[in-house]
Homo-oligomer: A and B are copies of this chain.
Amino acid sequence: MSAAHTGVPAPVPAPLDTRMPTPVPVEEHEACPVSDVLRRIGDKWSVLVIVLLGQRRHRFNELHRGIEGISQRMLTRTLRGLEVDGLVHREVFPTVPPSVEYSLTPLGRTLLEPLSALAGWAVEHHGAIERSRRAHAGAADRDGG
């Protein structure tokens, strides 16, 4: 197995060597756990739910009110997905009216640390990203128009 998709071993400083040492296979990319996780939390709402549940546990409608713009359906689906992956715990209280509380599992809490690393990167560099996007949009205008 190539090391390419098994762990991103280190922040390689990109030697930019013009030679081609290895053929770079990357066969089993479908099972790559990195892509797998990225696709799970890369959807529209999962990160927001994880962050909110990282602060404290919440009831369903608290999340619904707290995340402006999410539909009931998508909140349910997001929570189910995170629950199936073992990141979120769902606890039902058989009261009337019924009450359900969501919280992060221990596994889910371990995700907060690497997530905060990526969040820090995003906060630090989203200005540069947006400038780059605007610059390329302008370039496209000048190309096409």
Contacts and interface: CB of A to CB of B under 8 A. Distances in A.
Interface of A: 4-17, 20-21, 23-27, 29-30, 32-39, 41-44, 47-48, 51-58, 62, 66-69, 83-87, 103-104, 107, 109-123, 125-126, 128-129, 131-133, 136-137
A1 B97 CA distance: 33
CB-CB nearest 3 A-B residue pairs: A42-B42, A86-B132, A33-B126
A57 to B, nearest CB: 6
Nearest to A84: B136
Given A30-B69, A34-B123, A39-B44, A8 B85 contact: no
Which secondary structure dominates where chain A touches chain B? helix
Contacts of A118: 34, 37-38, 114-115, 117-118
Number of copies: 2
Contact of A14 (B32, B42, B103, B116): B103
A127 to B, nearest CB: 9
B5 A48 contact: yes
Nearest to A4: B51
Most-contacted residue by chain B among A6, A87, A117, A122 (CB, 10 A): A122
17 contacts: A7-B123, A8-B51, A8-B119, A9-B116, A14-B54, A14-B104, A16-B103, A17-B56, A20-B56, A21-B56, A25-B68, A29-B69, A42-B42, A85-B133, A86-B133, A107-B129, A111-B125
